[in-house]
Amino acid sequence: MAEAPRLVLATRNQGKLRELRELLRGQVPGLDVDTQVIDAAAAGVPDVPETGVTFAENSLLKARAVFEATGLVSVADDSGLAVDILGGAPGIFSARWAGAHGDDAANLRLLLDQLSDIAAPHRAAAFVCAASVVSPELEAVEEGRLAGTLLTEPRGANGFGYDPILQPAGMERSCAELSPEEKNAISHRGQAFRALLPHLVKALS
């Protein structure tokens, strides 16, 4: 019989859920990440409107809403791609850059089209993530950033979102050409959640 959930991740994105489970695996004594770390859909929580104007604001408002709905330790992240020449856009609008939320292919193609005349030296960008935890005893937010250069065409079949077009600084592969272990070691989300880990351990202990 599966143990009762102890932590809810405020997302329906299975890629994010897998990444959080892997980051938490073996880190919190007594936590079975495969059965006790669930997403918002499994918890029966509807989507939370992202009305903040920063990654940190959106992350916290989602974690607070899920905590209020479930009473369980709640974790959220808000993340996206910040392109230097676009003044930090798509930013908080990354998941709906092309209009429909979560249409990765359309978002990616639109961004590439917008940057089609931009030379490599001016294609600097970074993935940015703000991760938060809310429990009865605490609230915390941590941030991570993965800088790199945008490719002109997608490469690789791993990851999701804009992973196929961001080549991390100092690497010759896109994020989508990295193994999950390689990506977690350097990713913006990995950085943010590793920084959040002490708060999570405290919230779950």
**Catalytic residue set:** 78
- Residue 183 Ramachandran class (φ > 0 left, ψ -120 to 50 alpha, else beta): alpha
13 in a labelled binding site: yes
Check whether 160 is labelled as a binding-site residue.
yes
Is 55 assigned a ligand-binding role in the annotation?
Answer: no
Which DSSP letter does residue 75 get?
Answer: E
Cα separation, 157 vs 149, whole angstroms: 18
SS3 7: strand
Q: How far is CA 63 from the centre of its chain?
A: 13
199 is in an annotated binding site: no
Residue 15 is labelled as binding a ligand: yes
> Is 70 annotated for ligand binding?
no
Do 150 and 174 contact (CB within 8 A), yes or no?
A: no
Give helix 188-204 / helix 14-24 axis angle, nearest 10°: 60
152 annotated to a ligand binding site: no
14 marked among binding-site residues: yes
Task: Tell me if 163 is assigned to a ligand binding site.
Answer: yes
Burial of 121 (C-beta count, 10 Å sphere; 0-12/13-18/19+): exposed
Q: How far apart are CA 123 and CA 75, in angstroms?
A: 32
62 is in an annotated binding site: no
| Residue 189 assigned ligand-binding role | yes
Sign of the dihedral defined by the CA atoms of residues 41, 43, 47, 50, in that order:
negative
16 in a known ligand binding site: yes
Cα 130 from Cα 71, distance rounded (Å): 22
Residues within the annotated binding site? Answer: 11-16, 78-79, 160-163, 183, 188-189
Residues within the annotated binding site for Mg(2+)? Answer: 78
Residues within the annotated binding site for substrate? Answer: 11-16, 79, 160-163, 183, 188-189
